Every structure is written in structure tokens, then in C-alpha cells.
Amino acid sequence: MKTKLFLITPPFTQLNTPYPATAYIKGFLNTKGIESVQADLGIEVILKLFSKDGLLNLFQVSSFRFQVPSETISDNSKRIYALQEEYLKTINPVIAFLQGKNPTLALQICQEDFLPEASRFTQLEELDWAFGTMGTQDKAKHLATLYLEDISDFIVECVDANFGFSRYAERLGRSASSFDELYEALQSEPTYIDGILISILKERIEAIQPTLFLISVPFPGNLYAAFRSAQWVKKNYPNIKISMGGGFPNTELRSLSDARVFEFFDFITLDDGEMPIDELIHSIENPNYNTYKRTFLLENGKVVYKNNSAKPDYKQSQVGTPDYSDLLLDKYISVIEIVNPMHRMWSDGRWNKLTMAHGCYWGKCTFCDISLDYIKIYEPVAANLLCDRMEEMIAQTGETGFHFVDEAAPPALMRALALEILRRKLAVTWWTNIRFEKSFTEDLCLLLKASGCIAVSGGLEVASDRLLKLIDKGVTVEQVARVTRNFTQAGVMVHAYLMYGYPTQTIQETIDSLEMVRQLFEVGILQSGFWHQFAMTAHSPVGLYPEQFGVKKNTESIGTFANNDIDYTDATGINHDKFSFGLKKSLYNYMHGICFEYDLQDWFEFKIPKTKIQSDFIVNAIENEETFNIKPTAKIVWLGGKPLVDHFTKTKKGNSWDMTTLTFHDKKEPFSILTNKNEGEWLVETLEKISVLNVKNYTFQELKADFELSLEDFELFWYSKPIKTLREYKLLVL
């Protein structure tokens, strides 16, 4: 029997763009000629719920609560219920606007008498800072987002307490070492949201009639809906085999032993999904085939883990291009939940998601799951193949925005990709995650910007050199400052992930980290950031060898279900929780460009020590020192066009010189340089050779050798005023 696959992402992940896991698997299945259909049930449930018919049904379902005098209902929900006709009138136009189909509605929304307003609209005082007087579309998106969040609050209070836009019943999946609570929830009657999910799933299963149902579970907030989906299919279509994969099982379910899980699923696969799925298909089509790759299943009532396949995993060059067909690409909604400039990129706009490299090229950070394959096995994709995939995806989706979802994109590959994008004359927009390492020079950042890079995010983590060394981050605070300066000067936005509460971190180090962050924002080389508290995970060096980091696990027992987050005690005895509010409040203000003059003590309601960081530490770190040391192997690339050439003779005191003026037209303005004729002719010829459009890259040594075939003293020429001017206009040393 030929296998037909149905792949889903269960509710809820992102509203603005599909989570890429099913598209990756469908792209791989295409290379094998295997039929598959995919769906993002998250966006489909949202669209059914947030529609005129959906809200009408929602208000009808909740109406009984407003008719029972003993029911305790907030004034906010009472207000929304009283304004239900306004919500019914506006919901369809608002959703269409957020889908990009109704842009003129922005003018109505921004007048602030079109949308019904409840408690979320108390945030409005910061709109002028965030959007100014010109950002009508963005301001309207933010107001429309608040409107949806008001409805969400109503749903949570009156209909389904588990609801959330980017997560559903997340509490049941987060650190659930026991399956008991989730299992008990699944024995109860389906909730209102469950009902919508099941109605959509029923339609799809009946239409597709798959033999294998694959559910990708990236986060804890997808887990409950994944089990509900599997439960319904298992009950109504027992012949369909069901498998779970994705980020959640990869990190949380590696020691799974609870047999009840297999009342819902036939298989759970770990790590890269291509080969495990390939083997599952063989086992379904051939009952005597009993070979599996990294797969949990039930045998004789016991959970067993089978990894008896001798086949190696597929190489990144073999997995195909992610295929987004079947997904409702024109139905996703762009929202602006918060004004953090990087976080809004997660929720606003459609992004094609790709990976430059499997795993992490650094693979040393002690808080990270570096023992697991998704980090440990590093395999980059060739730049030309990446560009091939980008062009295929643009043709398929019509979208030219790319989010490279790497753990840390390798600088050398980013350089090669940028050069390939420019050679192919692709007009794309892209962003990714990086390490703030010294390879990101001013010139590399300019190249990345020229290729369409608009933002990078990276882990500054703890702005303390002692702790960065303990983390094995491979960077220093000074180095991070210089890299963020380079990106900022190139016009690339920088977001920093910030961490507090790392093992052995002292109160002094926390305050000093905050001072470093304050200075980075004050000098304008960091535009966005987010503080999160350290969490110890089972597969990180800290989790595996806690005694080396001054912490002690509070329990050694392993649960029968999810095992990832570890409860621990830090030898310092510091309660890091109490710093959360002050760190986040200060950062919020720094991102607004204000309150830099405040004493750090002003952010905390308890006594803190004075910072030991000099007030000009970051300024001193980023002071430009001109370097005259260029590696002979450095590649020299010209991003500009051909100059207009004008030869003339200069005469002074009876002496004459043949001179050349080269006039260039940059995107913004023309500029000229003046050289003697011989150097000018060499330069015109050389700029064409080293143009970014050419496949061959010339090194500094090659240019020097070529120059000195007919002219003298290349170094003197290279550091002359004409070349300095060209360096300012995108003559790059890479």
C-alpha cells in the first residue's frame, strides 16, 4: 500500500508566518516522490474563531455566564459582551487589514473611533513614540492587535482558560515530568477551542485520507493540541498511524517511559526527521520491516526506543527545498504586539524560513544543549545551493523576506551567501542569529547590509568577562561592543539576548551587566534587547556537570514524561528572581532612548551595590583605530558601478601631468576621485575585475602583484586619498 502523509503544526505558534518544520519535511518528501499534504491548524483555528460567524458563536456560547447572577465576571468582559455588535461589525475588515488585503482601513483605525476598546487600550500613551505621526499602517496594526488581544482576554475569562495566540494550554506541556495532568485534561470533554480544532481536522482527514499522520510539536504550547488531534484521529480512524516529532520531543521526551502516551501516538521520533520518517514509511508499507531510526514505540505494553537502522542521516544537500504549498500563505495575519523592534519582526510580515547550517559552528556555550544532535552536528549548506533554494521559494511563495533560523549563522558562510545574492542581483530582505565574534568587521557588515540583511540577534548573555569565559562564549564585552558598532554603522539593527542568574553570578556582576547594557544603548550601538533568567537544562554542560558550575540539582529522579528543565540550587544563595522587574523596566526605557541619566538604584526597590564599570567603558571600547595591517589573503570586493572617465592635462610652472577624474554615481549621490593617468587606468580596469558581480574574488596580494607589474609602491597608492574615498563608498576588504 502506497503511503500518503498528512503533516500538521497544531495550535498555536505564529500568526504571521508558518512554522517551517512541515515545509522542511514536505520538501524532503518531494525528493523521494512521496505524496504529502500539510496544514498549519494554528492559523486555520484563529481564522475560524476570529471571524463574524466565529464571534457570533463565541458570544452565544458565553451568554449563559452573563445571565447567572452568581457568576463573577470582570468589568472588562462585561464591556466586551455589551459591545458585541461593534465587534461583529469590525472583525472581518480588521482581519483582512492584518492580512494585507485592506490597507485603507488603517486611516479609519487610526482615528480611534472605529474599533471598540477594552482594557488593552490603556497602553496607548506610547504610540507617538513608537510610530510617530507618519506610521499609519504600523500604528493601525498595533491598535488592531490590541483589539484582538481584548477579544482574547474575553475568551480566556469566559470560554476557554487555556487560550493564547502563540500557545495553547502551555502550562500542561512546560516541564511536565509526569504525564498525569495532561492525561487527565485529555479525558475531559473537549473545550470550545478544541471543538474548532477538531472540526477543521475532521474535514482535512476525510478529504486527504492519509495512511500516516505526522504532528510537529515545536513548543510546550503546541503539546496539548497535538494530543487532542491525535486522540480524535486514533478514535475515529484507528488504521491511520500517528507520529510526533519536532523541537519539544527532541529536548523534552528523550527519556520517555509512560506507556499511556502511546494511546495517542504510534511513534515519537527524535532529532532530524527525514531518515526516521523514511524508515517509518518503509515499516508501514512492509509489515515485516522492523527497522527504525531514533524512534519510540510500544512493544508488549512497554515503551521501547529503537535506533537499529544502519542508514546514515541525509546530508543537508539532499533534503530538498522547503515546500510551503498547501499552506494558506495569503491568510496569515501580521500583528504588532509590542514595540520591541526585534520582537515585532517575529509577529509582523511573512518570512520564508531557511537554515544556513545544521547545528552550531561554535558548539561550546555551557548553558546550551550542545550534547544534542541539533546543536552538535554542524553541517553548512553551500552558498550557491542556499541561493537556489531562496529563488525556488520566492517563485513559490511570492515573498522575498527570509529568516535564517540558525543557532548561530557562520560568518564565512554569511559572507559567501551575501556575495552570491549580490552576484545574482536578488532583491531580498533577511535576518538571522549570530555570535558577536570579531569576524564581523566593518566591511563584512557593509557587505551583509548590501545583500539585504536588515537585522541580527545575538547572545550577549551576561555582560561580564568572567561569566562569558565560564559560559565559554568565546567573546569579550569589548568585542561585542565593536561588533554591534559595526552592524549599527552599516545600518543593520542589533538585538541582544541578555541573561541573569547564571550559576555563581554575583549581585555585583548583575548590576555591572546592566551598566554595560545601559552604555551600549546610550551610545546607540544596540537597538533591541531582552532579559531572560537562566534555566538549567538536562542536555547542557551545566545540567550534565552541575558541580563544575557551583550548583546542585534538587532532584536526581527522572520523570516518565518530559525531562529537560532542572530545578537546582546555586551555591551563592542569591534570589535572582527579584532582579527581573528592574532589569526589564530599565531595558524598556533604554530601548525608548530615555532614562540613561538615572542611577541604576532607581530601577530597584531594594539596595544594590554601585557599579564598578567605568562610565566611558563602551565609548573607549569602540573608538576607531585605523589599521594598516591587511592580510595578503583578504578578498577585495567593489560593490559600486563603473565610473565615468575624464582624462585631462594639468600644468603648473611649466610642468605637465596627465591626470584622470573618475566620477561614480552612488545610490544617494555622485562623487569623484582624482589620480594620475596610469593609476586611473589601472584602477578602472581593476574595479571591473573585483566587482561583486564577478565569480572570482581577488586577494589583496593579487592586486599588489598586478599593480607592481607596471607601477610602483602599491601600499602608498592603497592608503592614498582616492582609495580612502572609494573605501567610504563600498570598496570592501573581506
For residue 494, pLDDT beyond 80 = yes
**Least confident piece of the model among 595-604, 653-662, 700-709:** 653-662
Give the pLDDT confidence score for residue 625 in this predicted structure: 62
Provide mean pLDDT across the span 514-535.
Answer: 94
**Pairing mode, strands 302-306 and 295-299:** antiparallel
Give the pLDDT confidence score for residue 173 in this predicted structure: 65
Provide mean pLDDT across the span 402-413.
Answer: 95
DSSP 34: -
Q: Which of 325, 37, 25, 329 is nearest to 204 (CA)?
A: 37
Give the pLDDT confidence score for residue 131 in this predicted structure: 55
Q: Which of 610, 473, 615, 593 is nearest to 526 (CA)?
A: 593
The band of 650, judged by pLDDT with boundaries at 50, 70 and 90, is confident
Plot region of 605 (φ>0 → left; ψ -120 to 50 → alpha; else → beta): alpha
Amino acid at position 329, single letter: L
The band of 1, judged by pLDDT with boundaries at 50, 70 and 90, is low
pLDDT (tens digit per residue) in 94-116: 999 999 998 999 999 988 789 99
Provide mean pLDDT across the span 222-241.
Answer: 97
The band of 706, judged by pLDDT with boundaries at 50, 70 and 90, is very high
The band of 170, judged by pLDDT with boundaries at 50, 70 and 90, is low
pLDDT (tens digit per residue) in 84-96: 999 999 999 999 9
Distances from the Cα of 171 to the Cα of 215, 224, 309, 664, 725, angstroms: 20, 9, 36, 60, 58
| Distance in Å from the first CA to the final CA of the chain | 55
Quick one: cell of 117?
Answer: 476598546
For cell 504586539, name the residue.
337
Q: 663: part of which helix (H) or strand (E)?
A: strand 655-665
How many CA within 13 A on the CB side of residue 560? Answer: 14
For residue 192, pLDDT beyond 90 = yes
For cell 463574524, name the residue.
52
For residues 91 and 374, the model is more confident at: 91
Give the pLDDT confidence score for residue 562 in this predicted structure: 84
The band of 3, judged by pLDDT with boundaries at 50, 70 and 90, is confident
Give the pLDDT confidence score for residue 121 in this predicted structure: 86
CA separation for the pair 262, 301 (Å, rounded): 9
Helix, strand, coil content of the chain in percent (nearest 5):
45, 15, 40
Domain boundaries, the chain: 5-317, 351-621, 635-733
For residue 130, pLDDT beyond 60 = no
For residue 229, pLDDT beyond 60 = yes
For residue 134, pLDDT beyond 70 = no
Q: Which of 641, 643, 639 is nearest to 662 (CA)?
A: 643
Question: Within 10 Å of residue 594's Cβ, how many Cβ atoms?
Answer: 12
CA separation for the pair 172, 168 (Å, rounded): 9
**Pairing mode, strands 357-358 and 379-380:** antiparallel
Provide mean pLDDT across the span 591-599.
Answer: 93
For residue 231, pLDDT beyond 60 = yes
DSSP 610: P
Quick one: cell of 30?
Answer: 518531494
Q: Which of 221, 153, 181, 173 is nearest to 11 (CA)?
A: 221
pLDDT (tens digit per residue) in 438-465: 999 999 999 999 999 999 999 988 888 8
434 forms beta bridges with 458
How many CA within 13 A on the CB side of residue 443? Answer: 19
Mean pLDDT over each residue of the chain, to the nearest integer: 92
Helix ranges (DSSP H) in 424-474: 442-450, 465-471
Give the pLDDT confidence score for residue 60 in this predicted structure: 95
Query: How big is the CA angle at 624 (ends 618 and 625), to the nearest 5 degrees?
Result: 125
CB 369 within 8 A of CB 539: yes
**Pairing mode, strands 429-434 and 644-652:** unpaired
Give the pLDDT confidence score for residue 556 in this predicted structure: 66
CB 379 within 8 A of CB 358: yes
Give the pLDDT confidence score for residue 123 in this predicted structure: 66
For residue 339, pLDDT beyond 80 = no
Quick one: cell of 404?
Answer: 535564517
DSSP 691: B
Contacts 24+ apart (CB under 8 A), 291-294: 292/267, 293/269, 294/269, 294/270
Provide mean pLDDT across the span 686-705.
Answer: 95
Quick one: cell of 446?
Answer: 557593509
Give the pLDDT confidence score for residue 256 in this predicted structure: 94
Backbone angles phi, psi at 494, to 5 degrees: -120, 130
Provide mean pLDDT across the span 633-653.
Answer: 92
CA separation for the pair 218, 172 (Å, rounded): 15
CA separation for the pair 267, 261 (Å, rounded): 10
Read off the pTM: 0.92
The band of 164, judged by pLDDT with boundaries at 50, 70 and 90, is confident
Q: Which residues of 372-391 are buried (b: 16+ CB within 10 A; e: fewer)?
A: bebbeeeebbebeebbebbe
Percentage of residues in the chain having pLDDT higher than 90: 75
CA separation for the pair 387, 406 (Å, rounded): 16
For residue 327, pLDDT beyond 60 = yes
For residue 412, pLDDT beyond 70 = yes
**Least confident piece of the model among 97-111, 159-173, 470-484:** 159-173
Provide mean pLDDT across the span 332-341.
Answer: 78
CA separation for the pair 545, 474 (Å, rounded): 20
Give the pLDDT confidence score for residue 557 in this predicted structure: 66
Provide mean pLDDT across the span 260-274.
Answer: 97
Instruction: Write down the CATH superfamily of domain 351-621.
Output: tm_1862 like domain (3.80.30.20)
CB 651 within 8 A of CB 625: no
Quick one: cell of 344?
Answer: 515585532
The band of 714, judged by pLDDT with boundaries at 50, 70 and 90, is very high
Q: Which of 403, 257, 440, 260 is nearest to 322 (CA)?
A: 403
Helix ranges (DSSP H) in 424-540: 442-450, 465-471, 477-490, 507-522
Give the pLDDT confidence score for residue 175 in this predicted structure: 57
